[in-house]
Structure 1
Amino acid sequence: MLRAVNRVLLGIVGLVLVALGGSVLAIGLGAPAPSWWLHDGRDDVLLDDAERTRWRDEGWWWPVVIAVLAVLVLLALWWLVAVLRRRRLTEVLINTGDDEEASLRGRALEQALEEEAGHLEE
């Protein structure tokens, strides 16, 4: 389930970023801007002086910006750790019944259980 959600989320984020980046590149290279585009054309800046300095003198602005960016970084790190963490057993010690123990690889046990579960009636 986590894999599917992860892939869908990554796919959506990737498509949005490619669409935005491609449209900015196309307009920068001289393509006509669509009607919904925020800026007029190739020579228009993304943030003019008024937009860029609008909140500069407000005391709450920079702490809010830093807090939001910190939360985004923490969420990205949490996601990275969740994706990279291995939650599988490497090996399992099994009592063979004759006072001996055998070591079974976790991947082999996983495959055997998956195969056996596939043979069960639904």
Structure 2
Amino acid sequence: MSGMMALVGFAAWTLVLVALVVVWRVIEVLRGKPANSWTRGAAAQTPDFVKRAEHAHLNCLENLPVFAVIVLVAQAIGKSPMVDAVAAWVLYARIAQSVTHLVGTSHILVLIRATFFAIQIALFAYLLWGLAA
């Protein structure tokens, strides 16, 4: 998988996560819940799964720009093959982290999620090192 396709996959996964939240909220509104029930700073009765989907989405938003810069700079300076070699692993680690987050928040799941996050950070560092060389 090319770096560009992994970047598209990362963006698509980010949209899938926010879609989970949006679909739940639309269903709630159709059931009669006021549309302004989720204002910022206000306590909302949100199921744990939906809260975890929101957090997984926000986690994606934190790393998507970093991955995008790495992939796009590699493309611009002719180092795409280096990124292409590991980009799929960044995407796989991101999806695994998110899925683990969606499953639950037990101690072991948090450790597993942290491992997938650490893999992404290590891959980012490797790629940045390669871009700088």
Q: TM-score, normalised by structure 1?
A: 0.38
Higher relative contact order (CA 8 A, sep 6+): 2
Structure 1 or 2: more strand by fraction: 1
Q: TM-score, normalised by structure 2?
A: 0.36
